[in-house]
Structure 1
Amino acid sequence: MLGNKCYRSRQSRTRISERIVRCVISVSDEQIPRAGTGSRPRSDTVSGPSVERLEHTAKALMFKSMSVNSWRSYHTAVFNNFRSAYSLNNNWPADQQHVVLFVAYCFEKGLSPKSIKSYISGLSYIHKYRGWYDISNIFVVKKMLEGCSRSRQTVDTRAPITRKVLTVIISQLGKVCYNDFERSLFNAMFTLAYFGLFRVSELVATATCSNQLQIADVRVTGDKHAILVTLRKHKTNQRGIPVTIRIPYEPESALCPVRSFTDYLAVRPHSVGPCFCHVDGRPVTRNQFASVLSKCLLSGQLNNHHIKTHSFRIGRATDLASEGIQPTAIKQMGRWSSEAYNAYIR
């Protein structure tokens, strides 16, 4: 029954993703010309795949070019709603003046510079795909986006879960969890999230991502000195090139990722699938992860307003920096592809 539910859930996410792609871009007859329109003589037999099959493959390749989250952010509904609200024509390619007004509209609505830039990137992607002008290269639009960033500078208010804070959180699990299994489960997840600098979407299922860690991709070394975690996909690696992360044993610490994970393995159901699951085999969700974290913060009398699921990653990066670990090493350990890791060090 659980397997059927998971299968239906994956089917549902796939259908939603396909609808998003169809809304963002549609491969029409004008964009992929039909075969047989040239002057070369046609053969009565077709040795290759049909034109319909090639069109289907073209759509599939376009879909695979970006993550589902990117397709969602590139949805044109907001821009279309803006034009409808102001009685502007819905012609494509979009009028440049409409794009300029749209940027001003988003700013007036209080959207962050990052969100506004994302909307413009989506419009630009559609235009480039269809062979129209590149919105992102319009001088006025570029300067307006720069003005948004200068006028509305955002500050990351998320607080770090440092080793000290993590110790308090783990100590509260016995009070907020229903049983010893749940306590062991969330102890392993929270500890691994911190020491492995994991994004929550890499560990558990989220509303937009089903690439959660599988039990087959985690193993404890024979000497029990480390955990080896293989990530098939992550935010900066959408091409599915596996990355193996080695998380060492912490012999002098009350917080040991190897010990907490082996304790969880001892009680985990013997089944394949997601690494972190409840006693009945149901996978842990992001909402459940966040809910237990929030209860632990409340029980431990910690400020829970600025501590989020990403705080494990922020806290570990902060602790490593305070220990004198080289920035290049922190960047590699956290799987950052840019200098963005600097913003995580508090």
Structure 2
Amino acid sequence: LSAVLQRGWAESTLALYSSALKRFSDFCDKENVPILARLPASEYLLCVYAASFAGIFARSSVQNLLSAVRAWHIVEGAHWHGGVRLVYVLNGLDSFAPASSKRPARVPVTRAMLDMLYDRLSLSDPFDVCVLACATVAFWSQSRLGELLSHSRVSFHATKIPRRLDLANPSTTNGSRVLRYPWTKTKRSKGDTVLITRQIGRCDPISALANHLSINYIPDEYPLFSYRTTSSQLSFLTKSDFMGRCNAIWCAAGFPPSSGHAFRIGGTTELLLSGVPPDVVKTMGRWSSDSFLRYWR
């Protein structure tokens, strides 16, 4: 039962929760909280724990720490006592949030930055064409890199990232293609699909994909974003390698380093500023709320 329950969270989330639970355990040890009083934790204990971060962490960080403790309670079948009082403690943390916890808005990838990749990547190099294809797809489909790329160059989870067979053949005269995602952050193993459409200009994902597939000739069962090494072996594009190549080009041109999420918010921003109706952008980007509207800048 415990093993099945733990599959209810993403692996990356569980990894973060592990360190967060150790922080809770260390706090209880320091405050001499008896073992039996930690599970289930009383609301008073939860409030004191949250309040201990006043002036140190922002509210969102403390909420993440508490989410780990709550997940532990769920797995162990213990009642969660977090209630109204805890909500007010969290509200109060906003008044103590350190200036360092308030990060500036992340800078999105722009169309001009995609054009720069096109200009400076080699359109005949297997690795570079794979990077360009991934960049244009991630941008125009408003995708998360974790939904597209493997964590390893030599292994992958077929249930987590798209394979070559998940990219449908062109379905319109303009070459639009449907890409199936076997796993997404919001729908998890139910997966989802995106429509990749032709774009005017050099950063067209349809052309980039066609060039990538013609140079890297990827078997159906392998990740869509794979590339041939100098020995003609297939290697899987990772987020680290992908962002490293992109940032090497952008930083050399004077841009600050970008994060993977910059592609998703960049595509969203570009579509909104181009006049695409917000409800269409929301559907295209598979946004589960209206939070994407904050990128309308």
TM-score range, shorter chain: 0.7 to 0.9
Structure 1 position 277 matched with structure 2 position 226: yes
Residue correspondences, number: 279
What do you get for the CA RMSD once the two structures are aligned?
A: 2.5
Q: Report Cα offsets for 1:271-322 as digits up to 9, x if no partner.
A: 32211123121211111011111101123x13224x2221111111111111
Match for 1:117 among 44, 60, 63? 63
Q: Report Cα offsets for 1:154-185 as digits up to 9, x if no partner.
A: 445310112122212332224xx9x7222211
1:233 match: secondary structure: coil
Q: CA deviation at 1:131?
A: 5.2
Between the aligned partners of 1:149 and 1:213, the Cα distance in structure 2 is: 40
Structure 1 position 253 matched with structure 2 position 201: yes
Runs (5+) with no aligned partner, structure 1: 1-57
1:135 match: secondary structure: coil
Residue equivalent to 2:46: 99
- Contact 2:117 2:132 (C-alpha < 8 Å) held by counterparts: no
Structure 1 position 233 matched with structure 2 position 198: no
Q: Report Cα offsets for 1:218-240 as digits up to 9, x if no partner.
A: 134164611211111101111x2
Cα 1:262–1:133, aligned 2, differ >3 Å: closer, same or farther? same
- Contact 2:218 2:224 (C-alpha < 8 Å) held by counterparts: no
Structure number with larger C-alpha Rg: 1
Residue equivalent to 2:126: 181
Match for 1:217 among 163, 166, 170? 166
Residue equivalent to 1:71: 14
Cα 1:132–1:184, aligned 2, differ >3 Å: closer, same or farther? closer
- Contact 2:166 2:179 (C-alpha < 8 Å) held by counterparts: yes
Structure 1 position 161 matched with structure 2 position 70: no
How many percent identity over aligned positions?
20
Residue equivalent to 2:270: 319
Q: Report Cα offsets for 1:95-141 as digits up to 9, x if no partner.
A: 44432222123344x3332221122123234335555442321x331
For 1:1-346, list aligned pairs within 5 A.
Answer: 58-75=1-18, 76-91=21-36, 92-108=39-55, 110-127=56-73, 130=76, 132-137=78-83, 139-149=84-94, 151-152=96-97, 154-174=102-122, 180-206=125-151, 210=157, 211-221=160-170, 223=173, 225-238=175-188, 240-250=189-199, 252-271=200-219, 272-279=221-228, 280-299=233-252, 301-305=253-257, 307-346=258-297
Cα 1:102–1:230, aligned 2, differ >3 Å: closer, same or farther? same
- Contact 1:193 1:312 (C-alpha < 8 Å) held by counterparts: yes
Instruction: Using structure 1 for the length normalisation, give the TM-score.
Output: 0.73
Runs (5+) with no aligned partner, structure 2: none
Displacement over 6 Å in runs of 4+: none
